[in-house]
Amino acid sequence: MSTPNTERDLLVFSIWAVLGFAGLAFLLEGFTRDSYFVCLLGTALIVAAFVAHIIVNFLFQQGFRPGETVLGIGAFGVLTFTFIAGVLSGSMSMVDYYSGLTLFSILIVGFIAYLSTRHGLRGAFSRFHVKTAVSEDSGR
């Protein structure tokens, strides 16, 4: 039987196959043509993919899966590394530079906004706060 989980995953794959890849293609196109507008379009498509992903999560009463989180953070890390390497090598144009900064800013602001709306400001911090185990009989 196709479970709600399977259907949710299918929708997520479909969203990223269309919007994610379109966003990537527009970003690359923008870098090649040195066009900030085209890069912005790519960024908007990637944000749209995230929004659609979150809507699907809401409809199926689920959050991001651990695998998705790892993939997202990994991709973000690779992008950051590439961006920094580009800046250091001095081969980036100003359009590339601002396009990259726009993408990172939107992703970071979006990420914080998502956590804040989903878990609340305090709860969002707790997602990263490592709780140390305190035993019941520690006397304190």
Partner 1 sequence: MINAGNLVWLPLYALFYVAVMLFWTRVAARENGNHETYFSAGHSLSPWISALTLAAASLSGWFLLGGSAEIAARGFAQPGVLQAGIVLALPGVLFFKRMWFVGQRLRLSSQAELFRSYFDSKFLVVVSVVVAVVFAVGFAGLQLRALSELIGMLSGGMVSPLVASLFLGVVLFAYVGIGGMRAVGYFGVIQSVLAFTAIVGLAGFALMSSGGFAALNAGLQTLAQSPDGAGLFQVAGVIRFSAGLGRDAVMGHAETALTSLSVAMAFMGFQASPLAAKIVLSTRNANGFAAGQTWVMAGIVGGIIAFGMAIIGTAGLINPQLSLGGMLAQLQAASPWFMAWLFLGAVAGVQLLAGLGLLTAGEGLVRHIYKPYFHSSLSRVATVNLTRIVIALLALVSVLMQSLTPVALSALGALALPLAFQLWTPLLGITWLRWITPAAATVGVGFGIAGVLLTETMGYEVLSFLGLELPWGRWPWTIHSAAWGMAANIAAVLIISAITNRNAFGAEAQEARRFVQSTLRMGPRARVLGAAAWSVALAWIFLAVGPGLVFSNFAFGTVDASGGAWSVGMPSIWAWALLFWALGVGLIWFLSYKMEMASPYLMDIPAYEPPRTLHHDQTRVEGERLRKLVVTGALAFILVVLVAFSFGS
Q: Does 2 bind partner 1 (CB under 8 A)?
A: yes
At its nearest, how many Å lie between partner 1 and the CB of residue 137?
A: 44
Q: Are 29 and 38 in contact (CB under 8 A)?
A: yes
Q: Which stretch binds partner 1 (CB under 8 A): 14-22, 51-59, 75-83, 110-118?
A: 14-22
| Rounded Cα–Cα distance for residues 91 and 85 (Å) | 9
Q: Does 22 bind partner 1 (CB under 8 A)?
A: yes
Residue identified by tokens 């144009």 is 93
- Give the relative orientation of helices 36-59 and 4-15 as an angle to the nearest 10 degrees: 170
CB-wise, 25 or 112, nearer to partner 1? Answer: 25
Q: Does 7 bind partner 1 (CB under 8 A)?
A: yes
3-state secondary structure 59-90: HCCCCCCHHHHHHHHHHHHHHHHHHHHHHHHC
At its nearest, how many Å lie between partner 1 and the CB of residue 23?
A: 11
Q: Does 28 bind partner 1 (CB under 8 A)?
A: yes
**Sites of contact with partner 1 (CB under 8 A):** 1-2, 6-7, 9-10, 13-14, 17-18, 21-22, 24-25, 28-29, 32
